[in-house]
Structure 1
Amino acid sequence: MLTETRVWVEKQLSPGERVEAVTRLRGGWTSEIRRLDVGGPQGRRSLVLRSFVKPFFVRHAEGLLTREADVLSLLAETGLPAATLVAVDASARHCAHPRC
């Protein structure tokens, strides 16, 4: 994971948490997918970092990732099982590629 991405991710975490390990996952067609193992005062947890790197998806990332973040936020209010959104950088202002 690039340094600028790690810095951005760690700013999104709870106080005292940090990324302890990064594992690239297979199977992402539209994105690079990584599991981030995070540790801190509350224990350990794993997050998924999805990065658009293919030119077509980078061009459309802001709309796609913003919509995905909105849907995840709405689902969080329903009690349905769904991923919990931690952060999104849909325009790649803080990272090398758009991320969610």
Structure 2
Amino acid sequence: MDVLIERACGLDVHKKSITACIGTPEGKEIKTFRTHTVFLLNLIDWIKQHRCTHVAMESTGVFWKPVVNLLEAEEIQFLVVNHSTSKPFPAGKRM
């Protein structure tokens, strides 16, 4: 299988916290950040330290907007996805 994106980050964005998982050739690392501005800046720094080129975030409501603003400022590519389309359906479930 060809590797398309070598360094990526997945974010689960909530009102008061963000759980982040970075996948690199060296392995994966999971960390949780609070959503105050200073912690969002720490999240962006952490993503940049790992040289991630792409971020996908799952969020409901408007909680993703501050994260997107910071990612855009750093020119990091991102996707905001709906949880129903980003997770596989359980066995036996039909749409």
Is the TM value for this pair above 0.5? no
Category of TM-score, reference length = shorter chain: 0.3 to 0.5
Instruction: Calculate the TM-score normalised by the size of structure 1.
Output: 0.31
